[in-house]
């Protein structure tokens, strides 16, 4: 038997404890698949005294995580600290610079500093692996970067936050409003005490930036991702979606067109027949459209100690076996330099809902604005009559340019018969 792969783990929260538990419980199969034992020999975490449910005796303990990078007994560094700056970034930089492979679950770090870290890894000829950074237990990064490596990918899309998907699922199933379901999700531990990162779509945008870089073989470009969260999705719109044959999901979508790459995170209406429309609750899913393989979808658990540990240890097994892949799938010199496209150039169909005063001429005013901006309607829904009262009007447009839509919406919002800010949800194929 070869000597064990010696691993240092920085960060012993839920995921760190999960990694230690997995390596203990599945030591037999991990050893068989890695071709050698994988042993955690050093750790770093803030609190030495907290009970994490796994034995930590006999491990070298460092108060400063960055010190793990230079411990000569350590073969591989696992970074589970989180955050795009501070000790996580410093540790990953130091480890790569010291020629040690790194496994990280840190989507923010990869999304924000991934281009620079990929260069560093390439210069020092070491692996930087991050299967756990996107979609937890689903081997989405491996599937895109290796499984579909022979394909030109035209689009990648995903349900990338279980928290948002859970909230939207409960809203639909029980007809409840966002704030109400969020409060419950926080009580149940499905949403963070400060949920902004999830529900405003930032977390999904980090993951999408990573998926887009892999799918299109280009350096990661987080700043170019358009982001819109789910705070404004209402129970009323979910009910209308149902009536129109759609499901509302928070999707991350990246698409390569002749003009460039568009990457965006926002609530979408997806036809109910699309497989991704049926992925409910805390589950994640990733769909890739590949020129030879066709459409491939993966679904599973996107978060939690077990799924994340599964991804971290899979990366460790790859490293133990000597299986290496450049960070973004190709060497830096072979990456694409296709430009990012602004959201204003997006073209697609839109769902609009207006609360208007029910009186003659209202629809004529609204549709005149749409017509003046080249926006044509596929369907319109107005039900019930309450003369003089507020009623919803729902419209679905044909393919329209985002810039034109925004101008039209701002004009419509100013009409004095329109009582609330219009609701707008983009329609996606799924």
Q: Which residues here bind its own copies, judged by CB under 8 A?
A: 18, 22, 25-26, 29-35, 131, 136-139, 142-143, 146-152, 217, 275, 278-279, 290-301, 304, 306-307, 309-314, 316-318, 321-326, 329-331, 334-335
CB 86 within 8 A of CB 74: no
From the centroid of its chain, how far is CA 385? Answer: 42
C-beta of 150 vs 183, nearer to its own copies: 150
Output 26 or 84, the one with its CB closest to its own copies: 26
Enter the tokens of residue 108. 């923010």
| Residues 188, 182: Cα–Cα separation, whole Å | 10
Residue 91: how many other CB atoms lie within 10 Å: 28
- 100, 142, 207, 249: the active-site residue: 207
From its phi and psi, is residue 260 left (phi > 0), alpha (psi between -120 and 50) or beta? left
Instruction: Classify residue 100 by its DSSP letter.
Output: -
* Shortest distance (Å) from residue 380 CB to its own copies: 31
CA 145/CA 330 separation, integer angstroms: 9
Among this protein's residues, is 107 annotated catalytic? no
> Residue 8 or 214: which CB sits closer to its own copies?
214
Q: How far is the CB of 326 from its own copies (least distance, A)?
A: 8
- Tell the smallest beta-carbon distance from residue 300 to its own copies (Å): 4
CB-count exposure of residue 231 (10 Å: 0-12, 13-18, 19+): middle
Q: Which is nearer to its own copies, 82 or 304 (CB)?
A: 304
Give the residue from 266, 351, 327 showing the smallest Cα distance to 130.
327
Contact 240, 201 (CB under 8 A): no
C-alpha span between 296 and 287 (Å, rounded): 6
- Residue 183 to residue 236: CA distance in whole angstroms: 19
Closest distance between its own copies and the C-beta of residue 178, in Å?
Answer: 25
Nearer Cβ to its own copies (24/359): 24
**Min dist. Cβ of residue 149 to its own copies (A):** 4
**Catalytically active residues, by annotation:** 207
């Amino acid at each position: 038997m070869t000597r064990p792969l010696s691993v240092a783990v920085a960060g012993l929260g839920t995921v760190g404890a999960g990694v230690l538990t997995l390596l203990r419980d599945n030591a037999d199969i991990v050893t068989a698949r890695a071709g050698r034992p994988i042993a955690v020999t050093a750790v770093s975490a803030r609190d030495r005294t907290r009970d994490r449910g796994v034995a930590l005796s006999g491990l070298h303990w460092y108060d400063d995580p960055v010190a793990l990078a230079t411990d000569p007994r350590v073969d591989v560094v696992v970074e589970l600290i989180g955050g795009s700056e501070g000790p996580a970034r410093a540790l990953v930089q130091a480890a790569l610079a010291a020629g040690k492979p790194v496994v990280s679950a840190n989507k923010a770090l990869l999304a924000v500093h991934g281009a620079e870290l990929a260069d560093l890894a390439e210069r020092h000829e070491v692996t930087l692996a991050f299967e756990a950074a996107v979609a937890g237990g689903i081997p989405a990064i491996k599937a895109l970067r290796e499984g579909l490596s022979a394909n030109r990918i035209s689009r990648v899309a995903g349900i990338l936050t279980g928290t948002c998907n859970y909230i939207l699922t409960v809203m639909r199933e029980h007809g409840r409003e966002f704030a109400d379901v969020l409060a419950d999700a926080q009580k149940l531990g499905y949403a963070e005490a400060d949920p902004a990162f999830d529900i405003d779509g930032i977390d999904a945008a980090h993951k999408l930036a990573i998926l887009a870089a892999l799918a299109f073989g280009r350096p990661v470009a987080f700043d170019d991702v358009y982001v819109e969260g789910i705070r404004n999705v209402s129970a009323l719109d979910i009910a209308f979606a149902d009536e129109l044959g759609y499901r509302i999901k928070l999707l991350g979508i990246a698409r390569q067109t002749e003009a460039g790459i568009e990457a965006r995170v926002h609530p979408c209406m997806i036809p109910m027949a699309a497989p991704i429309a049926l992925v409910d609750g805390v589950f994640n899913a990733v769909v890739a459209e590949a020129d030879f393989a066709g459409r491939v979808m993966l679904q599973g658990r996107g978060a939690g100690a077990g799924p994340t540990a599964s991804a971290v240890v899979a990366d460790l097994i790859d490293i133990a076996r000597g299986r290496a892949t450049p960070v973004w799938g190709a060497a830096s010199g072979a990456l694409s330099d296709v430009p990012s496209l602004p959201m204003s150039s997006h073209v697609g169909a839109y769902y609009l809902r207006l609360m208007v005063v029910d009186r003659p001429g209202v629809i004529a005013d609204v549709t005149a604005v749409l017509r003046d901006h080249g926006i044509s309607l596929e369907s319109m829904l107005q039900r019930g009559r309450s003369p003089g009262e507020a009623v919803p009007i729902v419209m679905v447009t044909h393919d329209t340019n985002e810039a034109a839509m925004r101008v039209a919406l701002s004009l419509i919002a100013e009409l004095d018969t329109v009582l609330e800010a219009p609701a707008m949800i983009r329609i996606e194929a799924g």
